């Protein structure tokens, strides 16, 4: 644990885990073996980071479960469940509250809307998902296993397992006069 890191409250940090310079871990939290909490990262309020994970520099993780071998870069993850072997690019953000602060609903596999009774729920992300840089998810989104989310994409609906979800771009180049 770096000298400039802060450990506050009920926190378990297992052997061989590292908390780097400027990071803050505010309990209750669990940091598993061989995991790294990067420079200036914040891990707080009920987060469980399992073994062999990386919480990248400048990432904030709140009240979330990060399963083993997952590596998240920078951004915000709130009220989420993130599976094993997930990778997120830089500047990944999960929305965990509706703008109107009403309860969050999720869409079931049979396309039925289910009210969770929660005002805070981020994404539920399956195993082996890869997420490109500058991407985000809306509250209550489910991303199935082995899926790919393209860069600069906002996920606004559930993504089935083994799928690719991309935002289409159009480039325009014009000459200055």
The pairing of beta strand 164-165 with beta strand 148-149 = parallel
**Residue 11 half-sphere exposure toward CB, CA atoms < 13 A:** 19
- The single residue listed with the structure tokens 């908390």 is 19
Active site residue 162: no
Q: Measure CA 94 to chain center.
A: 6
Contact assessment for residue 119 and residue 103, using Cβ atoms and an 8 Å cutoff: yes
The Cα 34–Cα 84 span in angstroms is 15
Contact assessment for residue 143 and residue 129, using Cβ atoms and an 8 Å cutoff: yes
Q: Which one is catalytic: 26, 44, 62, 73?
A: 73
Peptide bond between residue 28 and the one before it cis (omega within 30 degrees of 0): yes
Three-state SS at 121: coil
Catalytic annotation, residues: 73
């Amino acid at each position: 644990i770096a000298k400039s890191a802060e450990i506050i409250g009920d926190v378990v940090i297992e052997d061989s885990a590292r908390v780097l310079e400027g990071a803050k871990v505010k309990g209750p939290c669990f940091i598993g073996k061989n995991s790294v909490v990067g420079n200036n990262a914040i891990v707080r309020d009920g987060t469980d980071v399992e073994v062999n994970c990386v919480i990248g520099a400048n990432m904030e993780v709140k009240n979330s479960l990060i399963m083993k071998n997952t590596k998240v870069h920078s951004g915000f993850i709130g009220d989420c469940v993130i599976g094993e072997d997930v990778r997120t690019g830089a500047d990944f953000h999960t929305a965990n509250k509706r703008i109107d602060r009403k309860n969050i609903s999720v869409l079931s596999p049979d396309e039925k809307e289910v009210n969770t009774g929660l005002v805070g729920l981020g994404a539920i992300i399956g195993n082996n998902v890869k997420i490109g840089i500058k991407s985000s998810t809306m509250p209550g989104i489910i991303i199935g296993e082995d899926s790919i989310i393209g860069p600069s994409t906002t996920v606004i609906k559930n993504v089935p397992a083994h799928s690719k979800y991309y935002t289409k771009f159009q480039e325009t180049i014009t000459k200055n006069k």
